[in-house]
Structure 1
Amino acid sequence: MNRTLVMMAIAASLSIAACNDPGKQETATADNAADTSAVSQPVDMHNAANSLDLAGEYEGTLPCADCEGIKTTLNLNKDSLFTLKEEYLGKKSPAAFNSKGKWVVHKNTITLQFDKELQDRRVQYKAGENKLWLLDQEGKEITGTLADKYIMTKK
């Protein structure tokens, strides 16, 4: 019986020693340090709305299916209002359209919200430093051989 008690005492001592293993404590401490460093990492909150000076006048001649191009001038005002002038070049009778509304930014995309009869029209641009890229009807970048023709530059 004494032998059993001695064996149990040795087993208990080994168990306690294993729990206090310095190697395990260092690993646990290293794991905790890794966890806290992930929490303390700053979150990048930069986007077009807070990183770029978007207000201003942008110009470009965009492709046109049945004319020489659409000379486009977009004024983004600081009060979130816009004016858009589109002049269809090479037409027998001059065709120019002016519209206005409100512009909003979500991440790096500018969406034009038109007034009145054009309110169903959807126009979006990807914002960059002094440039806007016209996006397709689904809000995706235009690719292909004419992709560089859909860029408007800030004056």
Structure 2
Amino acid sequence: MKRTLVLLALAAFMITIACNDPGKKEPTTTDNAGDTSAVSQPVDMHNAANSLDLAGEYEGILPCADCEGIRTTLDLNKDSLFTLKEEYLGKKNPVVFNSKGKWVIHQNTITLQFEKELQDRRVEYKAGENKLWLLDQEGREITGTLAGKYIMTKKQ
């Protein structure tokens, strides 16, 4: 019986200590009207759409499954139009695709909206300072050993 009472008292003591946070301060009711140190900081609303100069020409050689690489040139115009040139390297007969359309940006993602027969094609890039990272078909960053090969750099 004594043993049970001691265990119950110990358990109650542990619960009391666990619920009582010594680092937690009770709120005070003093008037802080003149104190500006408690003013919350504004939320950082910067993103690629409002912080970066995205217009310009970007280049890179992107990986290719059946060739040496795809030399890619993307020109983002200030009027939200783009031209995309993709040249498949290492083929006997040079294969070059040129396409046009409109580009839109939402937060840090640039989406290419192609004209006519390519309108179902989905191409997205993550925008950064003078760089674009090609995203996968689901709009996620490409990871793994080849991740560094999916970067296009802005020409200065």
Indicate whether 1:60 and 2:57 are aligned: no
CA distance in 1 between partners of 2:83 and 2:117 (Å) = 15
The code of the aligned residue for 2:133 comes to W
Root-mean-square deviation (Å): 1.9
SS at match of 1:117: helix
- Name 2:111's counterpart in structure 1: 111
- Name 2:8's counterpart in structure 1: none
Deviation at 1:121, TM superposition (A): 0.4
CA distance in 2 between partners of 1:134 and 1:30 (Å) = 53
- Cα gap change, 1:50 to 1:69, in 2 (>3 Å): same
- Name 2:42's counterpart in structure 1: 42
Alignment of 1:20-31 (within 5 A): 27-29=28-30
Post-superposition Cα deviations, 1:56-77, rounded to whole Å, max 9, x if no partner, equal 0000000000000000000000
The code of the aligned residue for 1:37 comes to V
TM-score normalized with structure 1 length = 0.77
Deviation at 1:45, TM superposition (A): 1.2
**Which protein shows a greater Rg?**
1
- Name 2:140's counterpart in structure 1: 140
CA distance in 1 between partners of 2:31 and 2:89 (Å) = 67
CA distance in 1 between partners of 2:31 and 2:141 (Å) = 44
Indicate whether 1:90 and 2:66 are aligned: no
- Structure 1 segments, 4+ long, off by >2 Å, are 28-34
SS at match of 1:45: coil
CA distance in 2 between partners of 1:29 and 1:132 (Å) = 51
CA distance in 2 between partners of 1:78 and 1:54 (Å) = 8
Identity %: 83
How many pairs are equivalent? 127
- Name 1:125's counterpart in structure 2: 125
Post-superposition Cα deviations, 1:107-150, rounded to whole Å, max 9, x if no partner, equal 10100000110000000000010000000000000001100000
SS at match of 1:37: coil
Gaps of 5+ in 1: 1-25
- Cα gap change, 1:30 to 1:92, in 2 (>3 Å): farther
CA distance in 2 between partners of 1:70 and 1:107 (Å) = 27
